[in-house]
Each structure stands twice: as structure tokens, then as C-alpha cells.
Structure 1
Amino acid sequence: MSGSASNSEMLYRTLGSTGEKVSAIGLGGWHLSLSHVSEQLAIRIVRTAIDRGITFMDNSWDYNGGKSEIRMGKALKDGYRDKVFLMTKIDGRTYREATKQLDESLQRLQVDCIDLVQHHEIIRYEDPHRVFDPEGANAALVEAREAGKLRYIGFTGHKDPQIHLHMLEVAANYGFKFDAVQMPLSVMDAHYRSFEKLVVPELVKQNIGILGMKSMANGIALRSNTVTPIECLHYALNLPTSVVITGIDSMEILDQAFEAVRTFQPMNDQIVQNLLAKTVQAGARGEFEPFKTSSIYDGTAKNPDWLGEEPQRIQQLMQA
């Protein structure tokens, strides 16, 4: 694929218009603090991934009560920080909450600067307006970027491609262009409320870095008994993704990610259509993408206080 380079075990791609070279596979931070993953194992996973060529590190302020960032921070000590492109996410929609969460992430990760910070869970039509309010979260991230606390700004969401497009539209209205956008990209997504079909072309047009996640729909796609883990990763790698972020909770799953890269070849239309034909029935109603069709994955719905208060000017309008 254009913009791709490789070493013995990993592909590297360019992150949109930033010019940054990042590993085509990103290590998902959420899995590092699951109940069956010890801190020792989490650190081993991160450091082995880096030693073998994975440079893109995914995390979030809200993952497992902050434990995922703490563990990654420990793993990135002893010279490992300089070898990675570090990303995390914040949930705050207000200037105050975003600033607070960013500072907490910096402390947990034990770094002075995070390479990419993303507005997390843009899953409601009001989220873009709250983020770009004069007292909103984006003002906090822009200020933090100027202060050297972060380098690039993006956003994520797992609910609806139309909301992603709305976020891009609102950003453009404020004269702002994101550096990266994260979304579900998979053999299932292609069939239902598809980010691949609606959002990816716009990001390619604007040369914004494309971060794919949930290539196996958190493992749920595999329960459809239609595709293998390697096929899922190959499909996502075949899209114009800068990074495919995948959850890794064991050394065996880490090996699987490298095997997917080792065996990946750009897929022609026939191979793609064969994969999609296998998943069309399972994917037609979003059954294997519950993050689109339920609130189970909506952390900010369960914890609305993470977002912060509604903009003051809206509250004043209501009182007028």
C-alpha cells in the first residue's frame, strides 16, 4: 500500500498529514488491565511488542479506572518511551474536565508529552458542539498542544458514522482539522452503518490519519463462525488505515498480531468480496457489533460526570 514501509516483523505507515511513521498494528490499552492480566504480564506484553516493532500505543483516561495508563506508564520506563508513538483519550467535553483528565493521564503515563490525544466516545450529535464550545474541550487540547503537553489531536467513536461526519463538519466550521480519527473497521462494519463506506473516504480526501479498531468486534465477530482472527486483521490492514489497533492480553495474541502482519498481502477485489460474502448475513443487522446497537460499550453514558457540565451559555439560554 502507498505510504507503507516494513522491517523484518512490522509494517509502518504514515499517519495522515502529520508525516509520522507508525506501526500498522497498534497495541490496545484496554486489555492491559483485564482481570486475568497481571501487571507483570502487561509490562511484558508492551515491551515485547515494542522490541518486535510495534510503535503505536493506544490508551484512554477511563480504561479500567486509570489502571491501563498506569501499567503502560511503567512499561514505557527504561528507555521505551522514546521508541513509541503514544496515544490516549479523554472524555471531558468542557475545558475544565479535559484539562483535568489530560493532566491525570500525563501523570499516570509518567510522561511530559503525549503524541496524540483524542476526544473519546463522540457518540451523540451534541458531542461535537460541546467539544468546540468556546469553553469546550478542544480549546483545552489546543492550549495543551501550545504548552508542549501533546502534539496531535484526534477523536474517536464507535456508534454511528454520521456522527463522525458531523464532528468533521463542526470542526471545519470552527476552522479546525483533526490529525487522526478512530473508528470500528471490520468485515462486519462493511455491512451495517459502515464507517468504512461513509467516513473513510472523507478522511482519505482530507488526508487525516485513519485509526481502525474493533477489527474483531471485541472478539464477538469470531462467534459468528464466519471468519478467523487473521482474516479480520488482514481485512482491516487492507483498508487505507494508518494503524489497526488490536487488543492484546497474552503473548499468544501478540504473536497472532505479528503473524497477521507477516502474512499480509494487499488484497484484490475478489479476495475482499469473498470475505464480505462470508460475513454478509451475520453482519446485516449489526448483531455482532453491539457497540453500535446497544449502550453496553458507552462508558460516558454510564458515567455522565466524566463529560462535565453543559456549556454555560446554553444554561443561560434556558434560563432567559
Structure 2
Amino acid sequence: MADSEMPYRVLGGTGEKVSAIGLGGWHLALPKVDEKLAFRIVRSAIDRGINFMDNCWDYNDGISELRMGKALREGYRQKVFLMTKIDGRTKKEATRQLEQSLERLQTDCIDLVQHHEILRFEDPNRIFARDGAQEALLEAQKAGKLRYIGFTGHKDPRIHLYMLEVARENGFKFDAVQMPLNLMDAHFRSFSKQVLPELVKDGIGVLAMKTLANGSLLESKTVTAIECLHYALHLPTSVVITGVDSMEILEQAFEAARTFKPFSDEELQKLLAKTQKAAAHGEFEPFKTSSIYDGTAANQKWLGEEPEHLQALMMGTV
């Protein structure tokens, strides 16, 4: 790490040192990214100092995890902090997905596993219910199959706050939380204003995503990619996750890290003013205002079956 091109930060209360920029897993299996390029992106990122690897059980039908698993062979696994996500809301489905992720990623233990796409107010209740997904992750943690537990979501900060509330009611504190943090979010249904202060207060690791909103922020013609990355780095984030589908975009990530300096209040307000009008109605954050990005809405089977006792209630058999 001493000669790394990448600065490091601490992941919340875990004490883990993670790269300020993390490598997003979804882009590793896009149509224009073949396995050879994905392999090169992952290993080049690690060789130059990125140690936080993002992935998910459902990314590109598992191909993203498979490719990352192959790239992490030959000693590379020991160099990274590996994260993936599962969609299952039931203990049974969460366990099944976690076991698949472990196999695809070719590892006995994943550093951080997150409950993915907390988009609905019922998600926290299902996860923390009897025979819910949280039981699966806690058992896996005890068995040494994962180290830390977090959650993600991109829809509404109020749902994140509710997930934190339900966790507290169950005597649990998450190690990390992933959410959209970008120059549009600051003005519309803002995670940075509503959720970020709570995470900082509780010492929970902050994972920024949708920093460029898959490029849609750039379509507003208001800010540059480097400005977007600098903004997320300016916030009290542990890791800014960015999708990389070419060596040029990987270079962009390192350029952002290399040139970053915290903003003065005046500089920050000037930057935020650039996006204020464009951000007003969420047009450039479609993950908040539409279901286009909601994988679990299009694939509800990923969540697992509703609890048997609730099905019985619905059928009037109890």
C-alpha cells in the first residue's frame, strides 16, 4: 500500500483499510466487455492499489462473479477486500444465493455480504423476520463464510432509515451501507442529507454508488466525470464504487483519486449549483424515479417465498 496510486480509508467501525475508490462488478460482464478485458481490468486495478471489489449474486446472471473469481486466482484474492450482495429475503433463499456466490468467487470467505436492493418498506421486516435472510447471514458469519454484513438500496432514503431502525430493534448494527451519492442526489430525495449523517454518527461504513448514475449525470451536460467522483470522495465515504468497462475508465478512476482535494465550502456550493436545476425532479436519477434499475421487481423469485404463516393468513386457514 505504501507505493500505491490509491489513497485508503477506514471502513466504518471495522478497522479495515479500503481503497477510496472501489471496482464495480456489474460492468465486468457487459456485452462490450469480454472475459479477457474483465480479467485485465480487475488485475490492473489491484496492481495499482484498488483493493475494494464490488459484486452481486444477480449481476449478469452470475457472470460478473464468475469473472471476478477467475481474476482473483494466483494470490490476488489475498490482496482485496471482497464484497458481494444477495437478494434473498428468506433464510432458505439467502443461504442458497450465498453458497453460489462463494463458489463463483472461488473463496471460502467473503469479506462483506450485503442485503441487496432494499427498495420497499417491507424488505427490512422480511429480512429480520423469523427464518429471514438475516438469520442466514449471521449463521454464515459464525461459520466463517463471511466477515461483515451490510445492505444496499437506491430508491428512497426513508427506506434506508427504516432498515437501520428495524436493525436497531433487533439489536443489530450494520458494518456498511451502500447508497446513491452524487451531485444530483444532493438536491432530490437526498441520501447524503438524510442517511449519511446517521451512518457517520453510528460509525457505519459508507459505500457510495451511482456516482455517475451509469453515465446519466453526464447527459445533463452540467458536470464532468471527475467532478462527480471528486464530490463523492469529498463526502465522508469509505469507498466510492465506480463501474469500469474499459482501461480508459479505469484510468479515469485513478485520475480522480490522484487529483482529489477536499472542497472549500465555497467550491462545494459552486459545484452543487451547477446541478441544482437539472436535479430538481430526479430526471437524471432514474433508479429513484422508475423501476428500470429494480432487478428484484422484475425477478421477484429472487426474494424467496413469503413466510408460510403469512400465506396461511391470506388463505384464511389460520
Q: Is residue 287 of structure 2 the alignment partner of residue 275 of structure 1? A: no
| Structure 2 residue 260 is the aligned partner of structure 1 residue 290 | no
Aligned to 1:103, which of 99, 114, 127?
Answer: 99
Structure 1's unaligned 5+ residue stretches are: none
Q: Which residue of 2 aligns with 1:303?
A: 299
Q: Distance in 2 between matches of 1:7 and 1:216?
A: 28
**Paired position in structure 2 for 1:47:** 43
| Residue aligning to 2:187 | 191
Q: For 1:206-221, list aligned pairs within 5 A.
A: 206-221=202-217
Pairing 1:219-238 to 2, within 5 Å after superposition:
219-238=215-234
Matched residue type, 1:189: D
* Counterpart secondary structure, 2:291: coil
Within 5 Å, which residues of 2 pair with 1:232-251?
232-251=228-247
- 1:91 paired with 2:87, answer yes
Is 1:56–1:84's contact at 8 Å kept on the other side of the alignment?
Answer: yes
Taking the TM superposition and a 5 Å limit, the aligned residue runs for 1:52-63 are 52-63=48-59
Normalised by the length of structure 2, the TM-score is: 0.98
Quick one: distance in 1 between partners of 2:84 and 2:4? 28
Distance 2:52 2:175 in 1: 15
Quote the Cα distance in structure 1 between the aligned partners of 2:120 and 2:304: 15
1:265 corresponds, among 245, 261, 264, to 261
- For residues 262-302 of structure 1, give each alpha carbon's deviation from its aligned partner in whole angstroms, at most 9, with x where no partner exists: 00001111111011100000011100000000000000000
Cα separation, partners in 2 of 1:6 and 1:127, compared to 1, 3 Å: farther
Deviations, residues 200-255 of structure 1 (Å, cap 9, x unaligned): 00000100000000111110000000000000000000000000000000000000
Once the two structures are superposed, what CA deviation does each residue of 1:122-168 show, in whole Å capped at 9, x if it has no partner? Answer: 00000000000111000000000000000000000000000000000
What secondary structure sits across from 1:155 in the alignment?
strand
Change (3 A) 1:275 1:227: same
CA distance in 1, matches of 2:39, 2:242: 16
**Hey, what's the Cα distance between the residues in 1 that align with 2:161 and 2:306?**
22
From 164, 169, 188, give the equivalent of 1:168.
164
Q: Is 1:137–2:133 an aligned residue pair? A: yes
What is the letter of the counterpart of residue 148 of structure 1?
G
Q: TM-score, normalised by structure 1?
A: 0.97
Cα separation, 1, equivalents of 2:222 and 2:186: 14
1:121 aligned to 2:132? no
- The whole-number CA distance in structure 1 between the counterparts of 2:4 and 2:141 is 34
The partner residue of 1:34 within 30, 36, 39 is 30
Could you say what secondary structure the match of 1:225 adopts? coil
Aligned equivalent of 1:202, options 198, 201, 207: 198
- Asked whether the equivalents of residues 226 and 278 of structure 1 are also in contact (C-alpha less than 8 Å), the reply is yes
User: How many aligned positions are there?
Assistant: 316
Query: Distance between the aligned counterparts of 1:72 and 1:224, measured in 2?
Result: 32
1:11 matches 2:7: yes
Q: Which amino acid aligns with 1:205?
A: K
- Rounded to whole Å, the distance in 2 between the matches of 1:8 and 1:32 is 23
**Secondary structure of the structure 2 residue equivalent to 1:16:** coil
1:6 deviates by 7.2
2:20 is matched with 24
Give me the whole-angstrom Cα distance separating, in 2, the residues matched to 1:167 and 1:316. Answer: 26
Distance 1:130 1:78, change over 3 A: same
Unmatched tracts of structure 2, length 5 or more: none
**Paired AA for residue 61 in structure 1:** W
Maintained 8 Å contact 1:6/1:12: no
Deviations 1:89-130 (A, max 9, x none): 000000000000000000000000000000000000000000
Question: Percent of aligned pairs with the same residue?
Answer: 73
By how many angstroms is 1:317 displaced?
3.1
The one-letter code matched in structure 2 to 1:204 is V
Q: Give, in angstroms, the shift of residue 314 of structure 1.
A: 2.0
CA displacement 1:169-214 (0-9 Å, x = unmatched):
0010010110000000000000100000000000001000000001
What is residue 149 of structure 1 aligned with on the other side? 145
